[in-house]
C-alpha cells in the first residue's frame, strides 16, 4: 500500500545546541514527540521511579473505594474481583487478588468466558456471586459501560467498585465508586492508564493506608505486561510503570513468567516492550481466545515452578491453535473484503465460522493491511459479537456510541472496541457505521502517513546509536520507535522468506546491514541486487547466542 512520507519539522537550533551532550537525532526525535524544552528532554531521559507518580487519591472516588474495602476486611465480608479475559483484565484481577489476600480479605475471582459470556459484567454471573454470599464486587478492566448490570448488583444489596479505563459513554454506572481516569469529572493528571494501571493505583492507595503489609513494587511486572499488551500510550505514568516493570522481570520474574519465557525461548535479560507485546502477550491472550482465560490467571499467580511449566505448555499449545484459527479466518475475511467496494472507507466482515476469540485479531490485521477502520463479527443465530480496530483518524468507540440503539452492549477505546448486537440488526449496523465513517473520513479511504524522525547516513546505524535509542524505551503507542530515512542505499542481496517477509542486505559503502520488511514480500518482484533505494527504517540491536548484531526494520522504500 502506498504511503505518504512526511519528514518531521526540524527542531530549533537553540534546542539542538543547548543539549550538546545528546546526539542531535535524539533531540530531534524527542522534539517530534512533543518535548519542546531542554528540561523536558533531560527529564524524559532520566530513569523513572514511583515517587514521580501522581497521588492515587487524586482519582475520583478513591477515598470511598479504600474505606469500603477496609470495612469488608474488618467485617469478614465476601469480596469478588470480576476480571476480563484479555491480558489487561487478567493482570488487573491477579494484582487485586494478591493485594486483597495480602490484606486479609476473603476474596474470590471471577473471569468471564469470552464465548459463553462476552465482555463485561452479566446478570447470571452477578447472581451466582450473590448466591456465594459476595457483598462487595470489584471490577477489573471493565464495568464503566455495565450500567444495568451494576444496577442489578445494587438491587441485590451488593456494593460495587469499578476499576476501569474504557471510554465513558454518557452516564456513570450506579456504583459506590467508579475509578476511571476518563470519567468527565476526573482531575487525575494522567488519563491514559491501562486497566491494570487503575488497579495498581487502587493497590497503592490501599497499601498507603495499611503500611507494611505488602510493597506495591511487587506488582510492577503485572502493570507493565497489561499496559503494553493493551496498547496503552507509553508516555507519562505508563512509561515509568513499564520501565520499572521490565526491570523487575529481567531481574527476578515470577515463576509463571519465567516458565512462559522458557517455552517462548525468550531470555529474561532480553525482555522489552516488544517481547511483551509480540511474544508473551499473544500467548497469555491465547487462553481467553480459544478456551478460558483462567489458565493465564493461574499462571501469573503460580508459586510452583512445576505447575508454572505445565500451564505455560498449555498456553503454548493454545497459542498454536490460535494462530491456525486466525489464518483460516483471515482467508475468509480477505475474500469478503474483495467483494466490497474499493472506495468503502470502512471494512465490515461477518461469518458464523469466525471464533469469538479471533475476531479482534482479524479486525486488527485488516485495519493494518488496508488502512481503514475494520470490524469483524462472529455471526450467531440470535446474537452476534464484533470486534473493531481503527486508524488514528477515526474514533471507533464514539462511532459505536452513535449506534447504541442498535446494540445490546458495547465499549472500548478510540482505536479498539467491541460490541454485541442482535443478528437481525447486523445489516443496519453495517450501513450506519459506513455512513458515520464517510462523514468523518470522506468518500475515499485515507492514505497512511509514514512519519520520519530524521534523515541520517546509513553509517550512523551503529551500536552507539542503538544504546542511545535504548534510552528512549519503552517504545510503543505515543512513543513509537524512531524512524529514519537513508537515501541512495545500495542493495547487496534481495530475497523473500517462506512466510512472506522481505530480507535485504543494504550498504552505503561504509557499513552493510541486514534489513527485514515484515509482510512486505511483495517487493520481491520489483527489486534486484544492485538497485539503489531510499530506505525508511527503524534500528534494532539484537542479541542471540552471545552475539550482537544490528538489524534494520523496513517501514517502506522507494526505488531510485
Secondary structure of 389-404 in HEC code, one letter for each residue:
ECCCCCCHHHHHHCCH
Confidence of residue 487 (pLDDT cuts 50, 70, 90): very high
pLDDT-above-90 percentage for the chain: 83
pTM: 0.88
| Domain spans of the chain, in order of start | 54-251, 253-336, 340-441, 450-559
pLDDT in tens, 128-164: 999 999 999 999 999 998 999 999 999 999 999 999 9
| Third-level CATH fold of 340-441 | Diaminopimelate Epimerase; Chain A, domain 1 (3.10.310)
* Host H or E run for residue 360: helix 359-370
Extract the C-alpha cell encoding 428.
443496519
Judge whether 54-251 and 450-559 match in fold: no
Q: Look up the CATH architecture of domain 54-251.
A: Alpha-Beta Complex (3.90)
Tell me what the mean pLDDT of segment 540-544 comes to. Answer: 78
pLDDT in tens, 205-262: 999 988 776 888 999 999 999 999 999 999 999 999 999 999 999 997 899 999 999 9
**Statement: residue 545 has pLDDT above 80:** no
Enumerate residues 6+ apart whose C-beta is below 8 A from 55. Answer: none
What is the reported pLDDT for 115?
A: 76
What is the reported pLDDT for 117?
A: 81
Ramachandran class of 321: left when φ > 0, alpha when ψ lies in -120 to 50, beta otherwise: alpha
| Third-level CATH fold of 450-559 | OB fold (Dihydrolipoamide Acetyltransferase, E2P) (2.40.50)
**Statement: residue 546 has pLDDT above 70:** no
3-class DSSP state for residue 77? coil
What is the reported pLDDT for 542?
A: 77
pLDDT in tens, 338-367: 988 777 899 999 999 998 889 999 999 999
What is the reported pLDDT for 114?
A: 83
Burial of 141 (0-12, 13-18, 19+ CB in 10 A): buried
Residue 201: count of CB within 10 angstroms of its CB: 28
b (16+ CB within 10 A) / e for 475-500? bbbbbbbbbbbbeebbbeebebeeee
What is the reported pLDDT for 395?
A: 95
Confidence of residue 118 (pLDDT cuts 50, 70, 90): confident
pLDDT-above-70 percentage for the chain: 99
b (16+ CB within 10 A) / e for 22-34? bbbbbbbbbbbbe
In angstroms, rounded to a whole number, what is the distance separating the alpha carbons of residues 90 and 244?
20
251 phi/psi in degrees, rounded to 5:
-90, -40
Tell me what the mean pLDDT of segment 111-132 comes to. Answer: 90
**Statement: residue 492 has pLDDT above 70:** yes
**Statement: residue 543 has pLDDT above 90:** no
Peptide bond into 474 cis (omega under 30): yes
Q: Which of 260, 302, 251 is nearest to 279 (CA)?
A: 260
Extract the C-alpha cell encoding 423.
443478528
* C-beta separation of 56 from 204 below 8 A: yes
Amino acid at each position: 500500500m502506498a504511503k505518504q512520507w512526511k519528514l518531521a519539522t526540524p527542531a530549533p537550533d537553540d534546542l539542538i545546541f543547548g543539549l550538546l551532550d545528546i546526539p542531535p537525532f535524539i533531540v530531534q526525535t524527542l522534539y517530534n514527540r512533543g518535548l519542546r524544552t531542554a528540561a523536558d528532554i533531560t527529564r524524559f531521559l532520566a530513569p523513572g521511579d514511583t515517587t514521580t507518580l501522581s497521588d492515587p487519591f487524586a482519582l475520583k472516588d478513591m477515598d470511598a473505594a479504600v474505606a469500603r474495602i477496609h470495612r469488608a476486611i474488618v467485617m469478614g465480608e465476601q469480596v469478588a474481583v470480576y476480571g476480563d479475559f484479555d491480558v489487561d483484565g487478567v493482570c488487573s484481577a491477579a494484582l487485586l487478588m494478591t493485594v486483597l489476600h495480602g490484606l486479609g480479605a476473603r476474596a474470590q475471582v471471577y473471569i468471564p468466558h469470552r464465548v459463553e459470556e462476552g465482555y463485561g459484567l452479566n446478570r447470571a454471573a452477578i447472581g451466582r456471586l450473590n448466591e456465594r454470599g459476595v457483598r462487595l464486587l470489584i471490577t477489573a478492566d471493565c464495568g464503566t459501560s455495565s450500567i444495568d448490570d451494576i444496577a442489578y448488583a445494587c438491587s441485590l444489596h451488593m456494593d460495587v467498585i469499578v476499576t476501569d479505563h474504557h471510554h465513558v459513554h454518557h452516564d456513570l454506572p450506579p456504583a459506590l465508586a467508579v475509578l476511571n481516569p476518563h470519567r468527565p469529572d476526573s482531575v487525575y493528571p494522567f488519563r491514559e492508564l491501562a486497566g491494570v494501571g487503575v488497579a495498581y493505583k487502587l493497590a497503592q492507595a490501599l497499601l498507603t493506608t495499611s503500611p507494611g503489609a505488602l510493597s506495591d513494587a511487587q506488582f510492577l511486572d503485572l502493570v507493565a505486561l497489561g499496559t503494553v499488551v493493551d496498547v496503552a500510550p507509553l508516555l507519562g505514568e505508563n512509561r515509568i510503570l513499564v520501565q520499572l516493570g521490565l526491570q523487575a522481570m529481567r531481574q527476578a520474574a515470577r515463576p509463571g513468567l519465567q516458565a512462559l519465557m522458557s517455552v517462548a525461548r525468550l531470555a529474561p535479560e532480553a525482555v522489552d516492550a516488544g517481547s511483551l507485546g509480540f511474544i508473551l502477550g499473544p500467548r497469555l491472550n491465547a487462553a481467553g481466545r480459544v478456551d478460558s482465560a483462567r489458565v493465564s490467571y493461574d499462571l501469573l499467580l503460580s508459586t510452583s515452578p512445576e505447575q508454572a511449566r505445565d500451564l505455560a505448555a498449555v498456553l503454548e499449545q493454545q497459542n498454536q491453535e490460535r494462530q491456525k484459527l486466525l489464518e483460516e479466518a483471515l482467508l475468509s475475511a480477505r475474500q469478503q473484503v474483495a467483494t466490497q467496494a474499493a472506495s468503502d472507507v470502512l471494512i465490515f466482515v461477518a461469518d458464523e465460522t469466525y471464533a469469538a476469540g479471533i475476531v479482534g485479531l482479524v479486525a486488527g490485521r485488516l485495519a493494518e493491511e488496508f488502512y481503514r477502520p475494520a470490524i469483524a463479527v462472529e455471526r450467531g443465530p440470535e446474537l452476534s459479537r464484533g470486534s473493531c480496530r481503527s486508524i488514528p483518524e477515526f474514533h471507533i468507540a464514539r462511532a459505536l456510541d452513535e449506534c447504541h440503539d442498535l446494540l445490546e452492549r458495547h465499549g472500548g477505546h478510540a482505536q479498539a472496541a467491541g460490541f454485541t448486537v442482535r443478528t437481525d440488526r447486523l445489516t443496519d449496523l453495517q450501513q450506519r457505521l459506513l455512513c458515520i465513517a464517510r462523514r468523518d473520513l470522506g468518500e475515499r479511504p485515507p492514505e497512511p502517513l509514514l512519519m520520519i524522525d530524521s534523515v541520517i547516513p546509513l553509517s550512523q546505524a551503529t551500536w552507539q546509536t542503538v544504546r542511545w535509542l535504548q534510552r528512549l524505551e519503552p517504545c510503543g503507542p505515543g512513543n513509537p520507535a524512531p524512524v529514519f530515512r537513508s537515501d541512495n542505499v545500495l542493495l547487496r542481496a534481495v530475497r523473500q522468506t517462506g512466510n512472506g517477509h522481505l530480507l535485504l542486505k543494504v550498504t552505503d559503502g561504509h557499513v552493510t546491514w541486514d534489513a527485514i520488511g515484515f509482510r512486505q514480500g511483495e517487493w520481491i518482484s520489483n527489486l534486484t541486487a544492485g538497485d539503489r533505494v531510499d530506505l525508511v527504517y527503524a534500528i534494532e540491536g539484537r542479541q542471540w547466542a552471545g552475539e550482537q548484531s544490528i538489524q534494520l526494520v523496513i517501514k517502506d522504500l522507494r526505488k531510485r
